[in-house]
Amino acid sequence: MDYSRIFEKFNEKNKGELVFQQAVKEVLDDIEPALEDHPRYVQDKIAERIVQPDRVIMFRVAWVDDKGEVRVNKGYRVQFNNAIGPYKGGLRFHPSVNLGIIKFLGFEQIFKNALTTLPMGGGKGGSDFDPKGKSDMEVMKFCHSFMRELYRHIGPDIDVPAGDIGVGAREIGYLFGYYKKIVNEHTGTLTGKGREYGGSHIRPEATGYGLVYFAREMLSTKGLDLKGKTVAISGAGNVAQFAAEKVIQLGGRVITLCDSQSTVVDKEGLDREKLEYVMDLKNKQRGRIKEYADRYKAECIMGKNTWESIKEVGIKIDIALPCATQNEIDSECAEALVKNGAICVAEGANMPSTEGAVKVYRENNILYGPGKATNAGGVAVSGLEMSQNRLGVVWAREEVDEKLYLIMKNIHDTALLAAKRYSNEGDYLAGANIAGFLKVAEAMHAQGIV
């Protein structure tokens, strides 16, 4: 079987969609030994089929801004694969969003969701709408217009969207309110809802907490823990905030955060009070992270993300938690991480490391946890939110947190086991790709050629 042919053909058919190509290559590179071991998947052309979305929905989103001017954005929902459950995945609102980005995210989501062990297929959506600088009224009008089209394609057993970059509690509220209004049903068709109207405890915290639970498991395989470790985090949004909270709770020292404008470096480390300030600044005032530096006399590096800052000024760290966006760490930043003492990189963002960066981690035996395993806590608790909505119950905070921890530990152990069987011991990336793929492949095989 010539696997490079599969990728070449895929590339020809998906020209210009570079991040989608990157995500697919990463998976195809790793699953070869697992495919060789399962001739039925080769015969069924599972690899060729899994890289093609079931369905791509694109639509116009027209809305009126506060000045009365008509605005037009693009809307997307990619329903990638529902072999193991309804399509499930977030919505991203960011000016950079295009079809290739949504396809890459939807593709990653298939394997991530499979790893959670919950019955969720893969999907993703979004818009090139930029919530930054918009009033609440404008965000509401946009969300309502977005849902005016999306509602007909989603449902609790069809496709269940949630948040991602630029889509948090406020946006989910507006999206859900409009959905409920037009279908006249109060069902769990979106997750990440407020707790007052069907949301789950721990969903806001889940991605960040889950990430740190996973990092702790990785460290424990080397007899290490988080206590006293210096941690660099990128981003200052949902994932970064709660990753920081859990690191602080477990005795680590968080010294960086960033946004798309600057990085702040606080050598003393964030504490509860400083983190509460960040949460208020970002989630309520919707301000810039450099205001943190002004308030706490921290260093502020303009125009650079956390990793470029570490490369530029040389900051000693033990653990790196990229929690901003795709390809934020390139091979040079990865080299700088190694040089500055990093022993572990665990990804809160989706595909934050370039192919070159991953190569550097592998060559330097860095404990490397890939996003589709390490950030699966968010969608896992979304799955738990769906379960609670279906049952009409509310689980206690402690119960959901315990379930989240067990899911993260299981993903960790599953990835390690698959890596040992089919790839190199300790290669979490290969392990996660293989274990996620095998589950979906078996479901696709069982369901025949559809």
- Residues lying near ligand NDP in the complex (CB under 6 A) are found at 163-166, 168, 207, 235-240, 258-261, 305, 323-325, 348-350, 375, 378
Nearer to ligand NDP, 46 or 240 (CB): 240
Please report how close the Cβ of residue 203 comes to ligand 2IT at its closest, in angstroms.
8
End-to-end CA distance of the chain: 23
Nearer to ligand 2IT, 189 or 382 (CB): 382
88, 112, 124, 274: which one is catalytic?
124
Cα separation, 205 vs 248, whole angstroms: 14
Q: At what angle do helices 397-422 and 203-220 cross, to 10 degrees?
A: 40
**What tokens were used for 101?**
């980005």
Q: Which does 237 bind (CB under 5 to 8 A by kind): ligand NDP, ligand 2IT, none?
A: ligand NDP
321 backbone φψ class: left, alpha, beta (φ>0; ψ -120 to 50): beta
Cα separation, 302 vs 309, whole angstroms: 9
Please report how close the Cβ of residue 147 comes to ligand NDP at its closest, in angstroms.
19
Nearer to ligand NDP, 141 or 170 (CB): 170
Please report how close the Cβ of residue 183 comes to ligand 2IT at its closest, in angstroms.
19
According to DSSP, residue 250 is labeled: T
Nearer to ligand NDP, 378 or 426 (CB): 378
Quick check: is 316 catalytic? Answer: no
Please report how close the Cβ of residue 18 comes to ligand 2IT at its closest, in angstroms.
19
Please report how close the Cβ of residue 105 comes to ligand 2IT at its closest, in angstroms.
6
Nearer to ligand NDP, 75 or 208 (CB): 208
CB 275 within 8 A of CB 245: yes
Residue nearest to ligand 2IT (CB): 90
Q: Which does 89 bind (CB under 5 to 8 A by kind): ligand 2IT, ligand NDP, none?
A: ligand 2IT
Q: Which residues touch 223 (CB under 8 Å, ≥6 apart)?
A: none
Nearer to ligand 2IT, 82 or 382 (CB): 382
- What is the amino acid identity at position 71? R
According to DSSP, residue 375 is labeled: T
* CA distance readout (Å), 132 to 93, 167, 175, 282, 285: 10, 11, 17, 11, 11
- What is the amino acid identity at position 187? T
**What tokens were used for 53?**
């979305």
Cα separation, 434 vs 437, whole angstroms: 5
Please report how close the Cβ of residue 15 comes to ligand NDP at its closest, in angstroms.
24
Q: Which does 230 bind (CB under 5 to 8 A by kind): ligand 2IT, ligand NDP, none?
A: none
Token pair 């921290």: residue: 298
Contacting residues toward ligand 2IT, per CB under 6 A: 88-90, 112, 162, 164, 191, 350, 378-379, 382
**What tokens were used for 60?**
């116009």
Q: Which does 388 bind (CB under 5 to 8 A by kind): ligand NDP, ligand 2IT, none?
A: none
Q: Which does 201 bind (CB under 5 to 8 A by kind): ligand 2IT, ligand NDP, none?
A: none
The number of CA neighbours under 13 Å toward the Cβ of 166 is: 22
CB 366 within 8 A of CB 345: yes
Residues designated as active site: 124
